[in-house]
Amino acid sequence: MESMATRDAYGKALVELGRINKDVVVLDADLSKSTKTDGFQKEFPERFFNIGIAEQNLIGCAAGFATSGKIPFASSFAVFATGRAYDQIRNSVSYSHLNVKIAASHAGITVGEDGGSHQMLEDIALMRAVPGMTVIVPADGVETKKAIFAAAQYVGPVYIRLGRPKVPIIFDEDYIFAIGKAAVIKEGSDVALMATGIMVSEALKAAELLQNQGFSAAVVNISTIKPIDAETITKVAQKTKAVVTCEEHNIYGGLGSAVAEVLVENCPVPMERIGVKDVFGRSGKPQELMEKYGLTAKDIVDAACKAMARKTK
């Protein structure tokens, strides 16, 4: 299976976007080789600004660009882009609904060896809590490119969460991405696996394992976490009557919380959450960490069985 890191797809998409839209400017904070904005820098040096190791200033400058008709994409690691610069995101960008795109890489535990200080597991929660912020977590390289183009078209603040490791390509080029739309990528009737980001391919693997055990699992890609697609989530839950959410994020405040909010108001069904259970990460290889923190296809299968067992007969 072909694979590609979502950050690489971001870097490529930025260059293409830059060619067709002269208002796009890119800002980085001394991580352009890691966030992959260096490609844009090479082709459009006059529209690229390295702000240095100063994430608060990075977001502040992006807000200023947005007031002047530019479409700024600001990049750093997720932990610094959202954590260090939270006040600038809240008060300079979102409070005035400025047209700033924050594309942050190295989210989640798959950062690997750098360890817990660098493994951002709270960014979805933080960004989701900011009024007016759109939150997108692409599942693969194809969706990343489409999300970047959609974000540039949309007017308003957008947070795009990107990863470090290569992940399988799930979608083909005619996949339709729309902000706020969840996609049912596999139909099923016994349980719904609702996943985001790199966990979508893990959920697809889990659905296969469940199939072998005689269960029919639906897989839903929830790439826009905010605004959440309540309609699709409710429709699928009504059919399967059991849900598992899957995210490479703290179980508090992320996809699991967003889906739980939808279900409790519209269609309460048994639900289990796959995610990091309110602890910080640690150093290790990405795959080892996925196992340690219970984020593998097998963990999803176990959670699915638990959710199905809780269905009222």
Ligand X SMILES: Cc1ncc(C[n+]2csc(CCOP(=O)(O)OP(=O)(O)O)c2C)c(N)n1
β-bridge partners, 250: 276
Residue span 71-110 as binding mask against other proteins, x where in contact by CB under 8 A, dash where not: --------xx--xx--------------------------
Q: Are 143 and 169 in contact (CB under 8 A)?
A: no
CA 309 to chain CA centroid, nearest Å: 29
Residues 14-53 binding other proteins (CB under 8 A) are 28, 30-34, 50-53
Q: What is the DSSP letter of 58?
A: H
Q: Which is nearer to ligand X, 118 or 241 (CB)?
A: 118
∠ CA(147), CA(63), CA(99), 5° rounding?
A: 35
Among 4, 12, 23, 30, binds ligand X (CB under 6 A): 30
**155 belongs to the binding site for ligand X (CB under 6 A):** no
Q: Which is nearer to ligand X, 73 or 177 (CB)?
A: 73
3-class DSSP state of 200: helix
Catalytic residue positions? 55
CA 57 to chain CA centroid, nearest Å: 24
**239 belongs to the binding site for other proteins (CB under 8 A):** no
Q: Left, alpha or beta for 271 (phi > 0: left; psi -120 to 50: alpha)?
A: beta
Residue span 243-282 as binding mask against other proteins, x where in contact by CB under 8 A, dash where not: ---------------------------------------x
Q: Which residues of 62-81 are buried (b: 16+ CB within 10 A; e: fewer)?
A: bbebbeeebbbbbbbbbbbb
**84 belongs to the binding site for ligand X (CB under 6 A):** yes
Among 22, 42, 53, 91, binds ligand X (CB under 6 A): 53
3-class DSSP state of 25: strand
Considering the complex, what minimum distance in angstroms separates the CB of residue 296 from other proteins? 15
**10 belongs to the binding site for ligand X (CB under 6 A):** no
Considering the complex, what minimum distance in angstroms separates the CB of residue 170 from other proteins? 27
Binding at 225: pick from ligand X, other proteins, none (beta carbon under 5-8 Å per type): none
Q: Are 75 and 46 in contact (CB under 8 A)?
A: no
| Alpha-carbon separation of residue 274 from 51, 73, 111, 117, 250 (angstroms) | 37, 31, 18, 22, 9
**191 belongs to the binding site for ligand X (CB under 6 A):** no
Considering the complex, what minimum distance in angstroms separates the CB of residue 118 from ligand X? 7
Considering the complex, what minimum distance in angstroms separates the CB of residue 76 from ligand X? 6
Considering the complex, what minimum distance in angstroms separates the CB of residue 199 from other proteins? 20
Q: Are 164 and 106 in contact (CB under 8 A)?
A: yes
Among 89, 233, 289, 297, binds other proteins (CB under 8 A): 289
Beta strands per DSSP E along 59-107: 71-77, 101-105
Task: Write out the residues near ligand X by the rule CB under 6 A.
Answer: 30-31, 53, 80, 84
Task: Write out the residues near other proteins by the rule CB under 8 A.
Answer: 28, 30-34, 50-54, 56-57, 79-80, 83-84, 112-118, 282-285, 288-289, 292
